[in-house]
Amino acid sequence: MQERCKTFLSNRFGSLNKSVIAKMRETLVNELEICLENSNSQEIPTIIPLIPYAVSGDSDVDKSTVEILEQQLSLEKDQLTADEEDMKRIYVFTKFAKPHFNKGINSGVFVSFYAQSVLPLIKDIEGYSTGTGQAAAMLKQLAEIVAFCSDLPDPENCFTNVFQALQDLLPQNQEVPEEDEEKKRVQIHFTLIESLLATLLEMITRVIPSYDSYEASLEELRTSLKLLVRFVESYRKRIAELDKATMDRNLKSICLRCIDNIKTLCRQFFVSPPKSANIVHSWYQTEVVAKRRRTSSTSLPPVEQHKKVDHHKQRGIQQIYTPPGGKYSRSFKRF
């Protein structure tokens, strides 16, 4: 029965007469909100495409969609855990909201939710200890939506949490005994750091912080970033020297892009005041490469341009016509 309902909602509901949908619009809005609240991460993609049918013709579909999804985030705020399903729900809500953000539709509610509700749990989210998995996916998502943030609810707490999450990932200047080689190896989660550096820089640029402890937090961060750049340089040199047999070419390109982005972002924090950096996130590289490959392998062969034909070359050397009698006629006859 559940699968049958999904099929109806995703395939046949849109074909109903508009007048029928208009009569049940208010009921549809209420039901959609209840369904979203009680749905799992796999069911949400079936429900969200129905939101435009619940919006009246005079309303902005993009704005209404974002508002409904913002309401779902507010319901999650007090009961969110680091559980895999909880994080997947937030990720899917954000994924569907992201295409609707623009200059007129602010992503501040989503950014604030991530900063105040997700970041305090980030150490417990799957993949944090390795810099991959769900933790990386959530931080990448945050770095992408912050570009549409023009107003931030509760900015002081948001900035404080982002500063803290970033500091927890940065290498600390600790005295390590020479014989303890294992501790001397610093583990740096480059993707997580790139995501949070990009997020914080965009936040500072778009929502100017004015709380008391901001300058002290910025100075502390600058100290940590100087140490980070030292480690990053040695990692970059090591990766650049790897050959094809040791490391996949595409993976190597992504790693180098990530390190270069981190260096660029770090430099911007030493400008006063810090300014946003025009970078392409390192995780976009895989998508770009894949798209190029698909285009080259599935596209039609190029159309050959029309070449100018040299008729003289095609005819070759031709003999001069000689009449049978050996003489040319001096008179013309009409046929």
Please state, in angstroms and rounded to a whole number, the distance separating the CA atoms of residues 281 and 10.
33
**What pLDDT, on the 0 to 100 scale, is given for residue 55?**
79
SS3 labels along the chain: CHHHHHHHHHHHHHHCCHHHHHHCHHHHHHHHHHHHHHCCCCCHHHHHHHHHHHCCCCCCHHHHHHHHHHHHHHHHCCCCCCCHHHHHHHHHHHHHHHHHCECCECCHHHHHHHHHHHHHHHHHCCCHHHCCHHHHHHHHHHHHHHHHCCCCCCHHHHHHHHHHHHHHHCCCCCCCCCCCHHHHCCCCCHHHHHHHHHHHHHHHHHCCCCCCCHHHHHHHHHHHHHHHHHHHHHHHHHHHCCCCCCCCHHHHHHHHHHHHHHHHHHHHHCCCCCCCCCCCCCCHHHHHHHHHHHHHHHCCCCCCCCCCCCHHHHHCCCCCCCCCCCCCCCCCCCC
The pTM assigned to this predicted structure is 0.79
Sequence-distant contacts of 174-178: CB under 8 A, at least 24 apart: none
Please state, in angstroms and rounded to a whole number, the distance separating the CA atoms of residues 55 and 60.
8
Average pLDDT on 18-47 reads 83
Question: In this model, does residue 24 exceed pLDDT 90?
Answer: no
Cβ within 8 Å of residue 22, ≥6 positions away: 56
**What pLDDT, on the 0 to 100 scale, is given for residue 249?**
84
Spatial CA neighbour of 230 closest among 193, 259, 254, 200: 259
pLDDT tens digits along 118-137: 999 999 999 999 999 999 99
Average pLDDT on 167-172 reads 92
The better pLDDT of the pair 227, 318 is held by 227
State the pLDDT confidence band at 304, using cuts at 50, 70 and 90.
very low
pLDDT tens digits along 68-101: 999 999 999 888 999 999 999 999 999 999 999 9
State the pLDDT confidence band at 292, using cuts at 50, 70 and 90.
very low
Q: Where are the domains of the chain?
A: 1-79
Share of the chain above pLDDT 70, in %: 73
Question: In this model, does residue 244 exceed pLDDT 60?
Answer: yes
